[in-house]
């Protein structure tokens, strides 16, 4: 995972788990929608992501971490809900056609079309009452609410209709100015070394109108300043003033930001190295989380089957 995930999601996950009973799922089945031809890579991806979560401060004593495919009740419940979900609901999901246009028709599979159903089950199988989402994810959650309402209308009040826990997910720019993403190759990873981070920051896009140090800059349009604001907030106002007045050049600004970013990531990277050398601990955390998630999902699945008359 990268700095964008840290600012946009992981810190919020840590905060939510302080006072709520939270379930955080590794959605490995969802990964198959675009990675089905490279499925053997997913197990390694799962481990890396969980290590990042733990290193970022998610405490398994305060929440439940589990792997989607290790809770088979989720897959069975997805089959049942797929029987009542109109295809037209799935086809109107904004990202469905967008993703096909971006990635090609080869991803236009039954699983990809049914992605929102499985996503719905991720929530209702754990009796999820609140789901942390950004504004752009509200249409996806509303579809989950519609599916839950349709089931409850047909069979009685069984499924919890989830509410949005709207979070201000910042648009975190990458090194090229676009949204930070591994697929764009513009991300600063939590696992990067200090030296790799320094090298990436040196190549970062800055204000194209600020060519010389003495040129007036526009910090609000500079990805470097965004990260200064996030990781060097106490000095952000001064940095913005010096940039606009031509007192601060981009080279010095980048070096200063990289130093603060590496300092902020140092404890995460230290915890990450410790977790990598104790892989059995990660396995134990996931095994315990899978058991707890299965316990809840089994109860929900039994209630769904009873409501549908499928308990023989």
Tens-of-pLDDT digits for all 312 residues of the chain? Answer: 999 999 989 999 999 999 999 999 999 999 998 899 999 999 999 999 999 999 999 999 999 999 999 999 999 999 999 999 999 999 988 777 777 877 788 888 899 899 999 999 999 999 999 999 888 788 899 999 999 999 999 999 999 999 999 877 778 999 999 999 887 899 999 999 999 999 999 999 998 888 888 999 999 999 999 999 999 999 999 999 999 999 999 999 999 999 999 999 999 999 999 999 998 999 999 999 999 999 999 999 999 999 999 988
| Domain span at 68 | 3-172+278-308
Kindly report the CATH number assigned to the domain that includes residue 229: 1.10.240.10
129 within 8 A of 153, measured Cβ to Cβ: no
- Check whether residue 165 and residue 288 sit in a common domain: yes
- Check whether residue 11 and residue 97 sit in a common domain: yes
- Check whether residue 253 and residue 296 sit in a common domain: no
222 within 8 A of 186, measured Cβ to Cβ: no
Helices and strands per DSSP (H, E), number in the chain = 15, 4
90 within 8 A of 116, measured Cβ to Cβ: yes
- Check whether residue 127 and residue 250 sit in a common domain: no
- Check whether residue 235 and residue 167 sit in a common domain: no
Judge whether 177 lies within some domain. Answer: no
Count structural domains, the chain.
2
| pTM recorded for the entire structure | 0.89
- Check whether residue 160 and residue 231 sit in a common domain: no
Kindly report the CATH number assigned to the domain that includes residue 90: 3.40.50.620
- Check whether residue 267 and residue 285 sit in a common domain: no
- Check whether residue 99 and residue 246 sit in a common domain: no
């Amino acid at each position: 995972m990268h700095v964008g995930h840290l600012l946009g999601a992981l810190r919020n996950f840590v905060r939510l788990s302080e006072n709520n009973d939270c379930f955080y799922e590794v959605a490995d089945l969802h990964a198959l929608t675009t990675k089905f031809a490279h499925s053997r890579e997913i197990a390694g991806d799962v481990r890396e992501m969980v290590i990042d979560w733990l290193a970022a401060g998610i405490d398994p004593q305060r929440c439940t971490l589990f792997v989607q495919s290790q809770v088979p009740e989720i897959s069975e419940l997805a089959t049942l809900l797929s029987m009542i979900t109109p295809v037209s609901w799935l086809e109107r999901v904004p990202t469905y056609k967008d993703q096909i246009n971006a990635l090609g028709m080869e991803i236009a599979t039954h699983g990809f079309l049914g992605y929102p159903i499985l996503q719905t089950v991720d929530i209702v199988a754990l009796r999820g009452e609140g789901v942390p989402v950004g504004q752009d994810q509200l249409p996806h959650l509303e579809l989950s609410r519609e599916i839950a309402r349709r089931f409850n209308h047909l069979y009685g009040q069984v499924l919890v209709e989830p509410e949005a826990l709207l979070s201000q997910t910042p648009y975190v720019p990458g090194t090229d100015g676009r949204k930070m993403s591994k697929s764009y190759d513009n991300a600063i990873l939590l696992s990067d070394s200090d030296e790799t981070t320094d090298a990436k920051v040196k190549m970062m896009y800055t204000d194209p109108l600020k060519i010389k140090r003495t040129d007036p800059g526009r910090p609000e349009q500079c990805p470097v300043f965004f990260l200064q604001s996030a990781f060097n907030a106490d000095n952000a106002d001064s940095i913005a003033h010096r940039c606009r007045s031509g007192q601060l050049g981009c080279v010095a600004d980048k070096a200063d930001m990289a130093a603060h970013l590496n300092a902020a990531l140092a404890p995460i990277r230290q915890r990450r190295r410790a977790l990598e050398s104790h892989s059995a601990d990660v396995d134990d955390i996931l095994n315990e989380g899978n058991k707890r998630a299965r316990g809840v999902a089994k109860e929900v699945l039994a209630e769904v089957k009873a409501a549908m008359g499928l308990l023989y």
